[in-house]
C-alpha cells in the first residue's frame, strides 16, 4: 500500500495542468469518486490493524495534496474566464458602421425649418380619425368619391351618422380642423405626418406616404400671401433658379384653389417618367380656406379668412435627391439609405 501511495504522489506532483481539459483529467484520476485515490481508500480495510493508522494518515495527506492542486487549478481558469472580454460580435464580417438619417426625415426637417422661419408652428394629430375630421368638417359632400372603399381605408362604421365612421386619415387636414376648434385666430401652423390611401404601389404612388400641410387664418389674408409663402418655400427648398407656376384647380375645402408646379429637377424641364414628359412636376395643392370650413369649426368667416396648402414629402424628396422610384423609401436597402448624410 505504501508503494502505491508513493507512486500516486509522484504522479500528482508531476501532473501538468495547462488547460481546462487537463483539469478534468486530473479530477477523474485523483479526485473523483471513481479515482485511483478512492480505490486506495476502499482497500484500507484490508491493511493489517497494526498498520492501518499509519497508512490512513498517509492516504489523508495524499488526498489533501490532490484536492489542493485541483482547487488551485479550478480557481486559476475561473479567473481567466472572468477577465476575458469579447471585443465585438465575432460573426460580423466588417466593423459596425454608423447609420444615416432617412432621406424622408432629412427633407421633413428641412421643410419644417423653412416654414418655422416664416413664423409657422408645428402641429400634430391622430392617424386614426373619424369621418367628421377627415371629410365632413372639410366640406366634403356625403357622396364624395374619396369616401368610397377604393380610396380610403375604413376601420369601422359609426353607430350613427356617416361622420362617425372610423378610418385611416387620407391627409393631415384633420389636424387643421382640430387646431381651429381649440385655438382662436390668428393661426399659422404646419402639420406633418403619415397618411393612407388605397392606391396601387408603383414608382410614383404608395398606399402609405407622408404629407406636410399648412394653415394660416387671420383677418385680411389674401391669395397673394399664399403665393408669396409658397414661392419663398420653393426657392429655399430647390434653389433660387427654380421656376414656379400655379394652375387653377378644385378642392372641397378651398376656394379659389390652385396646384403649384415647379420645373422637373430630374430632367431640367426636358420630360421624363417622373414628370410624365411634361417638364413640370406638381409639388403642392393650395387655396383660400372655404368659408364653410371656418364656420364648421366655429370661426366667423365674415371676420376671418385664410389659406391652406399641402404637399407630399416623398415627392419633394424625389425631386431634391433625383430619386426615380418612390418604392425605395420603404424597402430599407442599406445601399440606398447610406447615400444620405
Question: Residues forming the annotated binding site for Mg(2+)?
Answer: 255
Pairing state between β 254-263 and 244-251: antiparallel
Helix (H) or strand (E) holding 150: none
Which of 285, 293, 278 has its CA nearest to residue 258?
285
Per the omega criterion (within 30 degrees of 0), is the bond before 256 cis?
yes
Binding residues: 255
The per-residue b/e assignment along 253-288, b for 16 or more CB within 10 angstroms, e otherwise, is bbeebbbbbbbbbbbebeebebbeeebbbbbbbbbb
Tell me phi and psi for residue 317, to 5 degrees: -65, -40
Q: Cell for 6?
A: 508513493
Q: Distance (Å, rounded) from C-alpha 64 to C-alpha 8?
A: 13
Amino acid at each position: 500500500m505504501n508503494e502505491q501511495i508513493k507512486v500516486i504522489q509522484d504522479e500528482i506532483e508531476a501532473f501538468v495542468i495547462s488547460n481546462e481539459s487537463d483539469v478534468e483529467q486530473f479530477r477523474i484520476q485523483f479526485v473523483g469518486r471513481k479515482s485511483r485515490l478512492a480505490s486506495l481508500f476502499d482497500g484500507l480495510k484490508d491493511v493489517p490493524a497494526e498498520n492501518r493508522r499509519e497508512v490512513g494518515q498517509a492516504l489523508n495527506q495524499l488526498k489533501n495534496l490532490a484536492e489542493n492542486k485541483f482547487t488551485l487549478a479550478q480557481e486559476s481558469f475561473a479567473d481567466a474566464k472572468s477577465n476575458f472580454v469579447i471585443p465585438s460580435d465575432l460573426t460580423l464580417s466588417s466593423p459596425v458602421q454608423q447609420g444615416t438619417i432617412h432621406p424622408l426625415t432629412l427633407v421633413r426637417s428641412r421643410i419644417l425649418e423653412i416654414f418655422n422661419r416664416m413664423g409657422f408652428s408645428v402641429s400634430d394629430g391622430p392617424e386614426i380619425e373619424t369621418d367628421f375630421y377627415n371629410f365632413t368638417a372639410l366640406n366634403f359632400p356625403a357622396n364624395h368619391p374619396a369616401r368610397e372603399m377604393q380610396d380610403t381605408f375604413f376601420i369601422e362604421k359609426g353607430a350613427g351618422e356617416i361622420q362617425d365612421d372610423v378610418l385611416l386619415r387620407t391627409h393631415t387636414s384633420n389636424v387643421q380642423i382640430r387646431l381651429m376648434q381649440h385655438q382662436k385666430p390668428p393661426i399659422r401652423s404646419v402639420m406633418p405626418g403619415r397618411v393612407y390611401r388605397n392606391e396601387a404601389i408603383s414608382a410614383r404612388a404608395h398606399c402609405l406616404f407622408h404629407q406636410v400641410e399648412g394653415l394660416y387664418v387671420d383677418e385680411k389674408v389674401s391669395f397673394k400671401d399664399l403665393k408669396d409663402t409658397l414661392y419663398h418655400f420653393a426657392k429655399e427648398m430647390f434653389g433660387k433658379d427654380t421656376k414656379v407656376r400655379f394652375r387653377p384647380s378644385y378642392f372641397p375645402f378651398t376656394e379659389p384653389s390652385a396646384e403649384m408646379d415647379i420645373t422637373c429637377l430630374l430632367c431640367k424641364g426636358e420630360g421624363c417618367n417622373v414628370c410624365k414628359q411634361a417638364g413640370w412636376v406638381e409639388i403642392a395643392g393650395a387655396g383660400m380656406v372655404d368659408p364653410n370650413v371656418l364656420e364648421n369649426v366655429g370661426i366667423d368667416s365674415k371676420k376671418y379668412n385664410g389659406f391652406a396648402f399641402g404637399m407630399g414629402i416623398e415627392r419633394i424628396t424625389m425631386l431634391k435627391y433625383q430619386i426615380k422610384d418612390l418604392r425605395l423609401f420603404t424597402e430599407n436597402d442599406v445601399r440606398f439609405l447610406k447615400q444620405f448624410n
